[in-house]
Chain A
Amino acid sequence: MPELVITVARFGFLVLLWIFVFTVVGVIRRDLFAGARSGRLVAAPRAVGASTGQATAKPAKVKRGRAAHQLVVTAGQLAGTRITLGEAQITIGRAEDSTLVITDDYASARHARLVPRDGQWFVEDLGSTNGTYLDRAKVTGPTPVPLGVPIRIGRTSLELRP
């Protein structure tokens, strides 16, 4: 084997190794941006279709960056209870290991949970019997919770406050 070929191959292999590394990083990067786009879709309204003034005003409020810091029980037996929100998810239900144990006859043992993602809180129903409602709409999948909109679980009503 000629010396030159071997030398070229030797450095070529190292270059190839780093090309692989950067290709992998590129794939990860595209993944991140795809995630960011879908994240924006959650936060931003579909402005073209939105006709009412409320619909455009509401997400703007979320966007203004007033993060939720408290979960307040506004109605039900626990009315007045406040939970300071951190990074951890909040589980709500009658089960004793829930973050918020509600003694509501219409609540299931593991009723719903609130999960933070990128500064936005999502409410998710955990297969409860009577369902979870965000304002008047039934929660079917993880749904972003704006500030001040009541989450209704049985007779209990909860709100996120800044």
Chain B
Amino acid sequence: MTAAATPATSPATADERSGVRLARSRRNAELSLLLLAMAMVAAYGAMVEANVLDTITPTFWVPAAAITGVFLGIHLVIRFLAPFADPVLLPAVALLNGLGVGFLHRLDLAKAAPEDRADLATFAGTGGRQLAWTLVSVILAGGLLALMRDHRSISRYAYTLGLAGIILVMLPAVLPASISEINGAKLWVRIGSFSIQPGEFAKLALLVFFAYYLVRKREVLSLASHRFLGIDFPRGRDLGPVLVVWVISLLVLVFEKDLGTSLLYFGMFVATVYIATERVSWLLIGLVLFFGGAYLAYVLGRSVGGPFANFYLRADIWLDPFAKPYDEGYQLVQGLLALGSGGLFGAGPGAGQPLLLPEVQNDFIFAGIGEEIGLFGLSALLVIYLLIVERGLRAALAVRDSFGKLLAGGLAFTLALQVFVIVGGISKLIPLTGQTTPFLSAGGSSLMANWLLIAVLLRVSDAGRRPVTGTGGKVNRPAGGPPEQLHGAPTEVIKP
């Protein structure tokens, strides 16, 4: 036994560590980054006007100022409700969102007749609607931060959320095509002129459920295994859940005719299983299952058609978009041409021809922006996505409970996968599917869901960076207490 004086010094060093961390809420860094991002949004707006209108109107700063106000609001909310949250997440997301609004406003300018352009109202058109959606989304994100003071509290609703997620996923598939089908993908619920994409919210709900389920089951999934070729493979019966999710995602592929969504759900599950068990075999099983399924769908689509025909068509366009550049391949070809004509440095904001691209406000916004800011600009945007994802994974590493780790890791991965699916689609790396580009694309559902995702990441990172043992009231753990202590009931009271 080498027991010695160490324990006496340990509490002191622990306190000292928290003392060091105490000063590191980094909210001022967040504020200055946010202001820098907003200055860039304003500069973008000015350049768009200079290129499209040939002059800068005196009101060019109004949209940027409006969106700055919205983000300053959420910054204040974070300052009070999640003071130790990651300082990088908000400015990075705000920049993407602001540029998205700016680009949509630029599309409105291009669509308007030349004589109306100068007095196009700031809050009209797609850009104005996106600005309104941003406001709604940010309010929702702030509300989530206020309601969810401890991320572990949502694990109580895991089964409810799981059920809600499955219903949301299945809703567009069972509704008639007249309500749910837009551009060949059944992903929507249309009510009048208003349409929402329930799948966007489903991924959040499902992820909470996955995280909760895997925290419960991960021992079984990771311990019981047999070794083959140096990799631990799980037992056959433990494959059950992953097979269920695989079948569900294939059903999504067949009935909603959308590869991207299907890949998103399946990838999300496989990644959370991998994070939970640290077993590479799950990644292999997932990849084999998915590619096997996709190939099967392709072969079936060629020979049988029916529900698989849409996927076959998309894969076919992907294999050779220039075969039919004016009909089936038109969108992808135009996207590639836009990226190509953008070149390294782009045509300059406002100087491209984004209206030649079909669906430029949704799926192809990345190609539309790419034409104007070029490869250098696009890679900057991709690095910003990468940084957001990295901060999400960092939050997962820093937080101390398994549920939070799985939740943050899974959410960050989902965001990365979604960016991969759409950017890979427009750049012809994978078959094109109608995913939204997070924070950039026009559309309320996507924006709301992704801002809620960011709110959860902020909450988890706040829990992870919060000092472990604080003395001041401000740094104490959030009220409510960790759920796992509720049933850690006292067993015996010893009185000396």
Contacts and interface: CB of A to CB of B under 8 A. Distances in A.
Given A5-B50, A45-B9, A28 B387 contact: yes
Contacts of B7: 134-137, 143, 149
Contact of A14 (B36, B87, B380, B489): B380
Nearest to A137: B7
A5 B55 CA distance: 12
Interface in A140-155: 140-144, 146-150
28 contacts: A5-B50, A6-B50, A9-B46, A10-B47, A14-B345, A16-B40, A17-B40, A17-B373, A17-B380, A20-B40, A24-B91, A27-B88, A30-B29, A34-B24, A39-B17, A42-B14, A50-B9, A52-B5, A87-B278, A95-B488, A107-B491, A109-B489, A110-B487, A128-B488, A130-B494, A143-B10, A144-B10, A148-B3
Interface of B: 1-18, 20-21, 24, 26, 29, 33, 36-37, 40, 43-44, 46-47, 50-51, 54-56, 87-88, 91-92, 95, 219, 278, 345-346, 348-349, 351, 373-374, 376-377, 380-381, 383-384, 387, 390-391, 400, 402, 468-469, 484-485, 487-494
Nearest to A1: B50
A140 B469 contact: yes
Interface string A44-68: 0110001010110111000000000
B488 A126 contact: yes
- For the complex of A and B, the 10 pairs showing the least CB-CB separation, nearest first, are A141-B469, A110-B488, A10-B348, A137-B7, A129-B490, A17-B380, A148-B2, A38-B20, A135-B7, A54-B4
A41 interface: yes
A50 B5 CA distance: 10
B5 A9 contact: no
A77 interface: no
Nearest to A7: B348
Q: Which of A20, A54, A147 has the most CB of B within 10 A?
A: A20
A58 B6 contact: yes
Contacts of A143: 7, 10-11, 14
B397 to A, nearest CB: 10
A140 B470 CA distance: 11
Nearest to B470: A141
Contact of A54 (B1, B5, B18): B5
B51 A37 contact: no
A94 B489 CA distance: 11
A108 interface: yes
A34 to B, nearest CB: 6
What's the dominant secondary structure at chain B's contact region? helix
B348 A9 contact: yes
A27 to B, nearest CB: 5
B317 to A, nearest CB: 32
Contacts of A130: 492, 494
Contact of A55 (B9, B26, B54, B345): B9
Contacts of B487: 109-110
Given A6-B51, A10-B47, A23-B33, A150 B20 contact: no
B13 A10 contact: no
B377 A17 contact: yes
Contacts of B11: 137, 140-141, 143
Contacts of A57: 4
A109 B488 contact: yes
Contact of B10 (A20, A88, A137): A137
B377 A127 contact: no
Interface residues of A, number: 72
Contact of A10 (B54, B346, B492, B493): B346
Contacts of B346: 10, 14
B5 A20 contact: no
Which of B9, B26, B349, B351 has the most CB atoms of chain A within a 10 A radius of its CB? B9
A58 B5 contact: yes
A126 B481 CA distance: 11
A150 B1 contact: yes
A42 B17 contact: yes
A144 B15 CA distance: 12
Contacts of A134: 7, 10
Given A24-B92, A105-B491, A115-B400, A149 B33 contact: no
A94 B17 contact: no
Contacts of A136: 7
A17 to B, nearest CB: 4
Contact of B485 (A25, A88, A94, A127): A127
Nearest to B99: A17
Nearest to B491: A108
Given A27-B33, A108-B488, A11 B345 contact: yes
B484 A126 contact: yes
Contacts of A59: 6
Contacts of B13: 41-42, 46, 144
A143 B404 CA distance: 21
